[in-house]
Structure 1
Amino acid sequence: MSHTTLRLALVQAASGLDPTENREALDRLAPGGHDLVVFPEAFARDFGEAGSDVSPYAEPLDGPFATELAGVAQARATTVVAGMFEQSTDPERPFNTLVVRGAAQASYRKVHLYDSFGYRESDRLMAGPIAPVVVEVGGWQVGLMTCYDLRFPEFTRRLVDAGAEVIVVPAAWVAGPRKVHHWRTLLTARAIENTVYVAAVGQPAPRYTGHSMVVDPLGEVVAEAGPGDEGEPVVVTAEVDRATLDSARVTNPSLANRRL
């Protein structure tokens, strides 16, 4: 496998309230022919009404959802990322977890819970440990973060300091005034300030913002979806290229020039 490029597929699709249907959607929606396929946050089961209890839908990392994810990854000979609620030490507050299965295996428990814009995610979920999770996929170092983590630049920098060259951001970015502007601006800023690729996949409109996108290390948008809708999944594909990454870090050596 070539390490000079990494073929990405971002599956902008809505998860519903039936975990069985969401599991079945993995195989139906995951495309072949890519090195990394990424589904949104909370794909195993949507959050439901704001503030509702999601603990009955929490699963272990070897439960039905992660097992199906591994099967889909194996069938496609790829690596797949998707979000789920994972059982924690508190039966009423699971983790909001990204599961990675296939050629790479990992899990990342969301660190920054969405206590913002009128929401209080921490009432229903437990924050994960503050530790960067970076996995190797096709010779590339891929860092993981989830939705609200995007608003904390120091967290992305932690991932980059741990070697990340591509940042993957599954999300369920709630729709509302200025929210698409914030999403696009922050994704672009994280790419520029860290000279990394950023690949972000969100659940679609109307509840969420969609606009799944890949941004290159100089802030150019390589591919982007629109808001989408719940009934029509969209797959955004892009190829990240090491020559582009290396060139960006010569042009803009901000990581090397840091003084803090």
Structure 2
Amino acid sequence: MPPRPFPYPLSIGTDIAHTVRIQRIVAPVNANDAPTRLFRFMRQFLTYREQQEFWARFKGARTALGPQLPHVARYLAGRWAAKEAAIKAVHWRTLSALHVQILRRQPGSHGGGPLYAVILDKPAASRPSGKRAHPPVSAEPASMEPILDGFQDADQLEHGDATAQAPSGPGPSKPLDDEYTPAELQDDDIPGQIAQISISHDGEYATAVCLAAEEPSAGDVGGEAAARNF
């Protein structure tokens, strides 16, 4: 008798990020450098709404790249790991970093609310309308790692945005600008599926786990969504 399928349409993803690596990427090469590296890196994987929440927390580039730099790297490493975990959990879709928003629920009586993810129906813009083109959505296997690899070259940071390179083979084409949710419309009503996210930090590393619910495909009956991969 074959094993019984897992009874619930749930999927788990996990990831780990090296905080020191993130700090090297975003830190200015010289003390007087403009915060170009930080801006470009954030626009590669944070939606416009996520960037606004980042700046509300860190109060401007001078603070973020000064005494707060270790905390900035820790924060960004956690968000990076969380998005990678979500991409892995939602394995039935081809997602980019801009398909995933990591948000915090409204604070309650005990301080800040818990984090959660929204798996967006379509990617969200990382720039206000009319700005330069968005980074392309990678083909499967879904991974944000090429973005980090691209940012290891300081020359590339000085001469243009690093973008994720799609692996060889067929994959989805780059969305047009009008296929992104504009920055001005990224509010609590943006269409998508909520997923559970947990981020942990230990020393130089940030880890994240995502628990996502598989949305039924057309024609699924009963437990077919849960058993589809068996």
TM-score after normalising by structure 2: 0.30
Larger radius of gyration: 2
Question: More helix by proportion, 1 or 2?
Answer: 2
TM-score after normalising by structure 1: 0.27
Q: Which has the higher contact order (CA 8 A, sep 6+)?
A: 2
Question: More strand by proportion, 1 or 2?
Answer: 1
